[in-house]
Amino acid sequence: MGGHAELRTASVPGFRHACGLCSLREWCWPPEMEVGDLERLHDIVRHTSVLPPGRHLFRAYDQFTALYAVRSGFVKSYTTDLRGNELVRDFHLPGELLGFDAVYPEQHHFNAMILKAASLCVIPYRDIAALSREIPGLQTRILALMSRDFSRQQLCVEGSDAKQQIAIFLLDVEARLQRQYSVEYEFDLPMSHESIANYLRLAPETVSRVISKLQQAGVIDSDRAHVRLLDVARLGLIARGVRSEDEIDPALTNRIERSKAVER
């Protein structure tokens, strides 16, 4: 963190209190882990203070030393092209890790900036690599988290058109933030339409136009910073590639609604 924030060691009691709702808790606190091993794991984890928007965790070409787990807030990762234009790589939400892609050649390939005031766990890589060789199953968990995040990053850019991409994006963010909200299908989006467009490789006006159309159709309600998914079944159909209202089978809509209810 290079002096960017105060770092505190995570104690086991502190972990129980601060991390109980984090979606990484099954990695940090697996039920089969011995208490002694759990203490060793949390001896190497550091917690940051709350970092303000605009603060960088690291920049491209910085030496890689640690993995970062988002405890609260939002982090944006991005690169810049030869002309200095920003290219958004991903948005990292609570319960997610970043920094894996710098393991080789021990150098970061992108910039990571706080988008919404955030606190993080900092996990020194050499320490966690050594510990994973000694604690059964820990390395497998780390690889599973890497695979999950890499797979997810491909979803939003695979849509065949802007409407499908944005539908996938909204459903993806809602699912990832589900643990943070007591109201389902309602969440904050601290990133601008311009940043979303950059991430999806669309024009900003295209994103604004599609979101407006989804609002007019009664699928979502959005005031830019806050989103409510009003008709999740229809949004799911759009994400699956259904292109017009007359292609929507009411029976299929009902099946999707029942499926979502089971998943919840």
pLDDT of residue 179: 65
pLDDT of residue 142: 76
Q: What is the mean pLDDT of the chain?
A: 81
Phi and psi dihedrals of 178, rounded to 5? -55, -40
* pLDDT at 31 > cutoff 70: no
Most confident range, picked from 28-32, 184-188, 200-204, 256-260: 200-204
* pLDDT at 133 > cutoff 70: yes
Claim: this prediction has a pTM higher than 0.85: no
**Worst-scoring range by mean pLDDT, 36-45, 138-147, 182-191?**
138-147
Confidence of residue 151 (pLDDT cuts 50, 70, 90): low
Tell me which DSSP letter residue 245 carries: G
Which residues, listed in sequence order, are joined to residue 88 by a DSSP beta bridge?
78
- Residues written for the chain: 264
**Worst-scoring range by mean pLDDT, 102-106, 116-120, 151-155?**
151-155
CA 231/CA 18 separation, integer angstroms: 34
What the chain holds in terms of domains, given with CATH numbers, is 7-154 (2.60.120.10), 159-263 (1.10.10.10)
pLDDT of residue 248: 46
91 touches 74 (CB < 8 A): yes
pLDDT of residue 141: 76
- Average pLDDT estimate for 231-240: 94
**Worst-scoring range by mean pLDDT, 8-12, 165-169, 196-200, 219-223?**
8-12
**Alpha helices by DSSP H, the chain:** 12-18, 25-28, 35-44, 125-132, 138-155, 162-177, 193-200, 204-216, 232-239, 250-263
